């Protein structure tokens, strides 16, 4: 089967995006994993299907690079909005376009303006502070929050001191900690720089490695710091890629509401492959 695709990245978080608005494509777990394989396939952190859904401009079907489905991905959602607008979906308004679409975690409104995409997100919720875990770097506290998907947040004095090997070691251990069973969790290591920006490193479940950016992880980290009284909305979050995401919100008792995120999206290339 010949398959056409877009290769897109949001702040360095990269995805294979496929137009499936005609509903003719069905991929199994092995095919998704092959497409995301960086040596044998196209290579990506995840795969996105743009699909038709009544009452919305489109539906975003999201799959992690291991081939398994996932409810939500912040940068993936921003990339899907960018591609959907390029495919003619949404409402044009001067130099921008608006789209409303459905994810596995609920509806999202996005604004696409050139290579910048901003989104109104679901609430950050179910915050748990000081979660007891088996192992954390340098004795750090570990917190938890859901922002469409599950996130552990590990604040550190300086996240840049963690080596890539430590990100994987601590990330994998926390991702599988009984405190987050049975679903597991993404793991975000973060610190605040002298200029007030948050610096983020993320170990993503389903990818089982460090990724270059994480949108929902950026939100979880920013909201956690705001609850600690160390930062206030809006918060700038520097990704592993060096790109920056802007996060704004209103604090709530167990998280935040009126959450928005904005940052860059770029089309790497378009192509086709046989699956």
| Contact between 124 and 145 (Cβ < 8 Å) | yes
The crossing angle, in degrees rounded to 10, of helices 74-86 and 215-227 is 130
Q: Which of 36, 79, 190, 214 is catalytic?
A: 214
How many C-beta atoms surround the C-beta of residue 218 within 10 A? 31
Q: Quick check: is 190 catalytic?
A: no
Please calculate the CA angle 179-181-186 and round it to the nearest 5 degrees. Answer: 85
Long-range contacts of 245-251 (CB under 8 A, 24+ apart): 245/11, 245/213, 245/215, 245/218, 247/218, 247/219, 247/222, 247/223, 249/124, 249/219, 249/222, 249/223, 251/223, 251/226, 251/227
Give the start-end residues of each E strand in the chain.
2-10, 13-19, 46-51, 58-64, 69-70, 91-93, 96-103, 106-113, 116-120, 125-128, 143-146, 150-155, 186-192, 198-204, 209-211, 235-238, 244-252, 255-274
- Tokens encoding 267: 């089309």
Q: Quick check: is 214 catalytic?
A: yes
Please calculate the CA angle 113-116-121 and round it to the nearest 5 degrees. Answer: 100
Q: Which of 36, 73, 79, 190 is catalytic?
A: 73
Residue for token pair 């990339």: 79
Catalytically active residues are 73, 214
């Amino acid at each position: 089967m010949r398959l056409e695709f877009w290769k897109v990245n949001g702040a360095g978080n990269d995805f294979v995006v496929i137009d499936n608005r005609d509903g003719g494509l069905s991929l199994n777990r092995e095919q998704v994993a092959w497409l995301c394989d960086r040596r044998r396939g196209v290579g990506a952190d995840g795969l996105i299907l743009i699909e038709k859904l009544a009452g919305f401009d489109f539906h975003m079907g999201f799959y992690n690079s291991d081939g398994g489905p996932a409810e939500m991905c912040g940068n993936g959602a921003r990339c899907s909005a960018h591609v959907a607008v390029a495919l003619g979906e949404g409402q044009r308004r001067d130099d921008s376009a608006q789209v409303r679409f459905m994810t596995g975690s609920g509806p999202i409104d996005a604004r696409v303006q050139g290579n910048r995409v901003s989104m109104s997100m679901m609430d950050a919720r179910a915050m748990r502070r000081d979660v007891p875990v088996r192992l954390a770097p340098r004795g750090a506290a570990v917190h938890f929050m859901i922002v469409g998907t599950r996130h552990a947040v590990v604040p550190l004095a300086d996240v840049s001191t963690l080596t890539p090997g430590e990100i994987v070691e601590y990330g994998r251990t926390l991702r599988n900690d009984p405190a987050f069973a049975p679903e597991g969790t993404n793991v975000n290591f973060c610190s605040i720089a002298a200029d007030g920006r948050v610096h983020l490193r993320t170990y993503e479940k389903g990818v089982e490695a460090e990724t270059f950016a994480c949108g929902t992880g950026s939100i979880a980290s920013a909201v956690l710091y705001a609850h600690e009284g160390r930062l206030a909305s809006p918060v700038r979050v520097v990704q592993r890629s060096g790109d920056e995401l802007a996060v704004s919100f209103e604090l709530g008792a167990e998280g935040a509401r009126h959450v928005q995120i904005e940052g860059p999206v770029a089309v790497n290339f378009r192509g086709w492959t046989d699956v």
